[in-house]
Chains A and B, each alone.
Chain A
Amino acid sequence: MKIAVCVKEVPDAAAARRIDPQTKRLDRSGDGVLNEFDTHALEEALRVKEGSGEGEVVVLCLAPERAMNSLRKALAMGADRAVLVADDAAAGSDLVATAKILAKAIERESPDLILVGQQGGDSDGAVLWGSLAERLRLPLVSQAASLELSDGKARSKRQTEFGYDVLEAQLPCVVAVSDAINEPRYPSLKGIMGAKKKPQEMLSLADLGVDVAEAGEAGSRTEVLALTDPPARGDTQRIEDEGGDSAEKIVAYLAEQKLV
Chain B
Amino acid sequence: MTARPADFAPPFDAVQFVTEPTDPPDERIEVGALVVGAGPGGLAAAIRLGQLLEQTPELRERLGEIPIAVLEKGKAPGAHLLSGAVVNPRAFRQLFPDLVAADLPLIAPVEHEGVYFLTRRHAQRIPAPPTMWNHGNYVASLGEMGRWLAERAEELGVMIVPETAAEKLLVTGGRLVGVRTGDKGRGKHGEKLANYEPGSDVTARVTILAEGTQGHLSGIALQKFGLASRPQVWALGVKEVWEVPRPLYRVIHTMGWPLRGARRYREFGGSFIYPLGESRVAIGMVVGLDYTDATLSVHDLLQELKGHSFVRAILEGGKRIAWGAKTIPEGGFLSLPDSLSFSGGMIVGDGAGLVNVPALKGIHYAMRSGMLAAETALDAIRPGQTAWTPGALAGYDQALRQSYIWKDLERVRNMRPAFQHGFFRGAVLAGAAMNSLGRFPPRDLKLEPDASVPVFIGDRAATYPAPDGQLFFDKLSSVYLSGNKTRDDAPSHIAVRRQVRREVAETWVHMCPAQVYEIAGDASPAGNVVEVEVTASNCVQCGAISAKGGRLLAAEGGSGPEYQSM
Query: Does A253 sit within 8 A of B, measured CB to CB?
Result: no
- On whether the beta carbons of B185 and A193 are closer than 8 Å, the reply is no
Residues 1 to 47 of chain A near chain B (Cβ within 8 Å): 12-16, 30-31
B159 contacts A by Cβ under 8 Å: yes
Which B residue's beta carbon lies closest to that of A184?
A: B195
Q: Is B66 an interface residue (CB 8 A)?
A: yes
Closest to B162 in A: A192
Q: Report the number of A-B residue pairs with Cβ-Cβ less than 8 Å.
A: 51
Q: Which of A13, A183, A192 has the most CB of B within 10 A?
A: A192
- Decide if B202 is an interface residue (CB 8 Å cutoff): yes
Q: Is the CB of A186 within 8 A of B185?
A: yes
Q: Is A110 an interface residue (CB 8 A)?
A: no
CA distance A6 to B349 in the complex (A): 43
Q: Are B562 and A189 in contact (CB under 8 A)?
A: no
Query: B194 near A: Cβ within 8 Å?
Result: yes
A window 155-190: CB within 8 A of B:
183-190
Chain B hits for A104, CB < 8 A: none
> Given A14-B75, A14-B483, A183-B193 in contact, is the A189-B199 Cβ separation under 8 Å?
yes
Q: Could you tell me how many residues of chain A have their Cβ less than 8 Å away from some Cβ of chain B?
A: 18
The reply to whether B184 and A190 contact each other, CB–CB distance below 8 Å, is no
Residues of B within 8 A of A193 (CB): 29, 66, 69, 159, 161
Q: Is the CB of A30 within 8 A of B161?
A: no
Partner of B194, one of A16, A183, A189: A183
| Residues of chain B within 8 A of A196, CB atoms compared | 159
Known contacts A186-B197, A189-B164, A193-B69, A16 near B321 by CB under 8 Å: yes
Q: Knowing A14-B75, A14-B485 are in contact, say whether A30-B197 is a contact too (CB < 8 A).
A: no
B200 touches A15 (CB 8 A): no
| A196→B161 CA distance, assembly (Å) | 11
- Contact partners of B483 in chain A: CB under 8 A: 12-15
User: Looking across the interface, which residue of chain B has its beta carbon closest to that of A12?
Assistant: B562
Q: Compute how far the CA of A174 lies from the CA of B185 in the bound complex, rounded to whole angstroms.
A: 30
B141 at the interface (CB under 8 A from A): no
Asked whether, in the complex, the Cβ of B562 is within 8 Å of the Cβ of A14, the reply is yes
User: Taking the complex as formed, is B564 at the interface, i.e. its CB lies under 8 A from any CB of chain A?
Assistant: yes
Tell me, yes or no, whether B537 is within 8 Å of chain A by CB: no
* Complexed CA–CA distance, A49 and B351 (Å): 44
B185 contacts across to A, CB distance below 8 A: 185-186
Beta-carbon contact of A189 and B200 below 8 Å: yes
Q: In the complex the two chains form, what is the Cα distance from A186 to B76 in whole Å? A: 15
Which residues from chain A contact B76 at a C-beta distance below 8 Å? 31
Chain A residues positioned under 8 Å from B159 (CB to CB): 193, 196
Smallest CB–CB gap between A233 and chain B, Å?
Answer: 15
A30 to B163, CA, bound (A): 19
Q: Which of B275-323 contact A (CB under 8 A)?
A: 321
Interface residues of B in 150-191 (CB under 8 A from A): 159, 161, 163-164, 181, 184-185
**Chain A residues numbered 126-151 whose CB sits less than 8 Å from any CB in chain B:** none
Tell me the residues in window 23-52 of chain B with beta carbons closer than 8 Å to chain A beta carbons.
Answer: 29
**Distance (whole angstroms) from the CB of A194 to the closest CB of chain B:** 10
How far, in angstroms, from A184 to B200 measured CA to CA in the complex? 19
User: Per-residue CB proximity of B480-507 to A under 8 Å, as 1/0?
Assistant: 0001010000000000000000000000
Q: Note all chain A residues with C-beta closer than 8 A to B321.
A: 16
Report the nearest B residue to A192, measured CB to CB. Answer: B161
CB-defined contacts of A12 to chain B, threshold 8 Å:
483, 562, 564
Cα(A51)–Cα(B372), bound, Å: 50
Interface size on B, residues (CB 8 A): 26
Which positions 194-231 of chain B face chain A at CB distance < 8 Å? 194-195, 197, 199-200, 202
Closest partner residue, chain A, to B197 (CB atom): A186
Nearest CB on B from A91, distance (A): 23
Set of chain A residues within 8 Å of B562, measured between Cβ atoms: 12, 14
Q: How far is the CA of A184 from the CA of B75 in the complex (A)?
A: 17
Residues from chain B with a CB closer than 8 A to the CB of A186 are 184-185, 195, 197
Bound-state Cα–Cα, A15 to B483, Å? 7
Across the interface, do B195 and A183 meet the contact criterion of CB distance under 8 Å?
A: yes
User: Which residue of chain A has its CB nearest to the CB of B199?
Assistant: A189
Give the CA-CA distance A30 to B322 in the complex, in Å.
14
- When the two chains form their complex, are residues B200 and A14 in contact, meaning their CB atoms are under 8 A apart? no
Interface centre among A15, A188, A193 (most CB of B within 10 A): A193
Q: Which residues of A, 46-93, contact B by the 8 Å Cβ criterion?
A: none
Instruction: Report yes or no: B195 in contact with A189, Cβ–Cβ below 8 A.
Output: no
Partner of B564, one of A14, A183, A190, A192: A14
| B56 CB, min distance to chain A CBs, angstroms | 23
Question: Within the complex, what minimum Cβ distance (angstroms) separates B32 from chain A?
Answer: 13
Q: Is the Cβ of B195 less than 8 Å from the Cβ of A185?
A: yes
In chain A, what residue has the closest Cβ to B66? A193
Task: Please give me the residue from chain A that is nearest to B160 by CB atom.
Answer: A192
In the bound complex, residues from chain A placing their C-beta under 8 Å from that of B197 are 185-188
Q: Mark B58-74, 1 if CB is under 8 A from A, else 0.
A: 00000000100100000
What's the nearest-Cβ distance from chain B to residue A255, in Å? 33
Across the two chains, which residue of chain B brings its CB closest to A43?
A: B195
- Measured CB to CB, the nearest residue on chain B to A185 is B195
Identify the interface centre among A14, A188, A189, A196: most chain B CB within 10 Å of its CB. A189
Cβ-defined contact, A190 with B75, below 8 A:
no
Nearest chain A CB to B103 CB, angstrom units: 20
- Distance between A10 CB and nearest chain B CB, rounded to angstroms: 14
Assess A13 versus B195: contact at CB under 8 Å? Given A186-B185, A189-B200, A190-B29. no
User: Cβ of B199: which chain A residues have Cβ within 8 Å of it?
Assistant: 189
B485-A15 in contact (CB<8A): no
A189 CB contact (under 8 Å) in B29, B75, B79, B193? B29
**Interface hits, B122-161 → A, CB 8 Å:** 159, 161
Could you tell me the distance between the alpha carbons of A184 and B184 in the complex, rounded to whole angstroms? 12
Check B161 against A189 for contact (C-beta < 8 Å): yes
Verify B564–A30 contact, CB threshold 8 A: yes
Known: A190-B200, A192-B164. A13 touches B485 (CB 8 A): yes
Q: B65: shortest Cβ distance to chain A, in Å?
A: 9
For residue A181, give the distance in angstroms from its CB to the closest CB of chain B. 12
Please name the residue on chain B nearest to A189 by beta carbon: B200
Residue of B nearest to A197 (CB): B65
Q: A14-B485, A196-B159 are in contact. Are A189 and B564 (CB under 8 A)?
A: no
Q: Which of chain A's residues have a CB closer than 8 A to the CB of B79?
A: 14
Residues in chain B near residue A187, CB distance under 8 A: 163, 197
What are the residues of chain A within 8 A of B161 when measuring CB–CB? Answer: 189, 192-193
Q: Bound complex: CA of A13 vs CA of B562, how far in Å?
A: 9
Residues of B within 8 A of A (CB): 29, 66, 69, 75-76, 79, 159, 161, 163-164, 181, 184-185, 193-195, 197, 199-200, 202, 321, 483, 485, 562-564
Q: Which 9 A-B pairs have the closest CB atoms?
A: A14-B483, A14-B562, A186-B197, A186-B184, A189-B200, A183-B195, A183-B194, A185-B195, A15-B564
19 contacts between A and B (CB under 8 A): A14-B75, A14-B483, A14-B485, A14-B562, A14-B564, A15-B483, A31-B76, A183-B193, A183-B194, A183-B195, A185-B195, A186-B195, A186-B197, A187-B197, A188-B200, A189-B181, A189-B202, A190-B29, A192-B161
Starting from the known contacts A15-B564, A185-B185, A186-B185, 11 additional A-B residue pairs (CB-CB under 8 Å) come to A12-B562, A13-B483, A13-B485, A14-B485, A30-B564, A183-B195, A185-B197, A186-B184, A187-B197, A189-B199, A193-B66
